[in-house]
Amino acid sequence: MPLHADLHRHLGGAVAPRIFWRYLHRHNHPLAAQFPDYEEFERFLVRPRGSLTEFLELHTLVEGVQRLQNLPYFVTKLVRGAYVFESIVYLELRYSPWYRTEENLPEAERIAQMREVVRIIAQAASQTEYPVLLRQILCMHSRLPLHINRAVLELAVQEPDLVCGIDLAGPDTLYAPRLKEFAELFQRARQMQIKTTCHLFETANGFYPELLPCLNRIGHGIQIAMHCPQLLPQIADRGQCLEVCPTSYLKTGTLTELTALRGVFQRCDEAGVDIVICTDNPGLHNVRLPFEYENLLTQDVIDFSQLKRCQSAAYRHAFAWPHADPPDALLQSLVQL
Ligand SMILES: [Zn+2]
């Protein structure tokens, strides 16, 4: 019975390495020649990188393959895997629609094509055999100019049934000179009733408290609890949660061990800030959601009662979960019958 919700997962990081490798070889993609051997490909994907910026080069590689015409191939498989292997019933999948359009088209046509990308993903995600409720988060990107990011936001406004929120992704080293611009985009989103999250306080370069008041949720935010705990009471007052993606911090060189997260969970508990545990890139990391939970438990970062609270928090903070209760409440009522 599917039970879990994942609120932070990238399309570019969600496809299992073997499915990605098989696609390259079945379609004679130029990358196939570079990786004739699967094991070597997997090692290349999952090895830790020195920084977030270096890790994001992997997303660029995947985005170069995942384009409009083959999105159904990848989305159908990632939804099937989420349902069968991760017991996921609710998934918010995020990506930058601009980077899924055809590169050779004029800019105006690429902007128009972003809407087609959203619809193709929604259609591919809807499978009666694997009934995951999937909604999309559209990522603005720190490498994209203002008018493209604005078009991403307008697209979210136009597709409220398919898109549940917007995000800001890309290297956080590029945020600083554009903070005012990004804050205005998020404020406009809030005015248009669009939910917001942002990759923030993930690395030592991502300290931008100016953006916090514009957000419904905080993408990562672990550095707040580690280095700026004085901000936690305001975060609790705003009802924001942290989307914590444990394996990511090891892969981007942000942390050397998961036990460093113990204090993050403790301080958030004390301050009344919810944490939701997410995968970020289960394919690129080769770590699925149940193993994110299990790793935190076996390394004594959290206990079972904390896990339960985080799992319930995922449904409370979901942008588009349509029920009053998480699905385990329904299960409990069945047990009592
Ligand atoms: Zn992310």
Measure 92 CA to ligand 1 centroid, in angstroms. Answer: 12
Measure 280 CA to ligand 1 centroid, in angstroms. Answer: 5
Measure 327 CA to ligand 1 centroid, in angstroms. Answer: 25
Of 180, 187, 2, nearest to 81 (Cα)?
A: 2
Answer yes or no: is 274 within a domain. Answer: yes
Q: What is the CATH number of the domain that holds 23?
A: 3.20.20.140
C-alpha 227/C-alpha 238 separation (Å) is 20
Model confidence pLDDT, tens digit, residues 26-72: 999 999 999 999 999 999 988 999 998 888 898 888 888 988 999 99
Measure 253 CA to ligand 1 centroid, in angstroms. Answer: 14
Measure 245 CA to ligand 1 centroid, in angstroms. Answer: 8
Model confidence pLDDT, tens digit, residues 122-147: 999 999 999 999 999 999 999 999 99
Measure 9 CA to ligand 1 centroid, in angstroms. Answer: 7
For 251, the domain range is 4-321
Measure 89 CA to ligand 1 centroid, in angstroms. Answer: 20
Quote the pLDDT of residue 332. 74
Answer yes or no: is 200 within a domain. Answer: yes
| Predicted structure pTM score | 0.95
C-alpha 30/C-alpha 92 separation (Å) is 31
Answer yes or no: is 149 within a domain. Answer: yes
Measure 165 CA to ligand 1 centroid, in angstroms. Answer: 14
Measure 335 CA to ligand 1 centroid, in angstroms. Answer: 37
Model confidence pLDDT, tens digit, residues 106-126: 999 999 999 999 999 999 999
The mean per-residue pLDDT over the stretch 170-191 comes to 96
Of 307, 330, 327, nearest to 318 (Cα)?
A: 327
Answer yes or no: is 99 within a domain. Answer: yes
The count of domains in the chain is 1
Measure 143 CA to ligand 1 centroid, in angstroms. Answer: 15
Six-digit token pair at 290? 């149940």
pLDDT band at 337 (very low <50, low <70, confident <90, very high): low
Answer yes or no: is 37 within a domain. Answer: yes
Measure 336 CA to ligand 1 centroid, in angstroms. Answer: 39
H or E, element range at 237: helix 232-237
Is the pLDDT reported for residue 1 higher than 70?
Answer: no
Model confidence pLDDT, tens digit, residues 142-178: 999 999 999 999 999 999 999 999 999 999 999 999 9
- Write down the mean pLDDT value for the chain: 95
Q: Would you call 332 exposed, middle or buried from its count of C-beta atoms within 10 A (0-12, 13-18, 19+)?
A: exposed
Where do we find the tokens 């394996």?
Answer: 247
Measure 154 CA to ligand 1 centroid, in angstroms. Answer: 21
Measure 337 CA to ligand 1 centroid, in angstroms. Answer: 41
C-alpha 47/C-alpha 24 separation (Å) is 20
Quote the pLDDT of residue 2. 59
Is the pLDDT reported for residue 329 higher than 80?
Answer: no
Model confidence pLDDT, tens digit, residues 243-296: 999 999 999 999 999 999 999 999 999 999 999 999 999 999 999 999 999 999
Is the pLDDT reported for residue 225 higher than 80?
Answer: yes
Answer yes or no: is 332 within a domain. Answer: no
Answer yes or no: is 300 within a domain. Answer: yes
Answer yes or no: is 22 within a domain. Answer: yes
Measure 168 CA to ligand 1 centroid, in angstroms. Answer: 9
The mean per-residue pLDDT over the stretch 323-334 comes to 78
Measure 10 CA to ligand 1 centroid, in angstroms. Answer: 6
C-alpha 293/C-alpha 3 separation (Å) is 13
User: What count of Cα atoms within 13 Å lies in the side-chain half-sphere of residue 126?
Assistant: 10
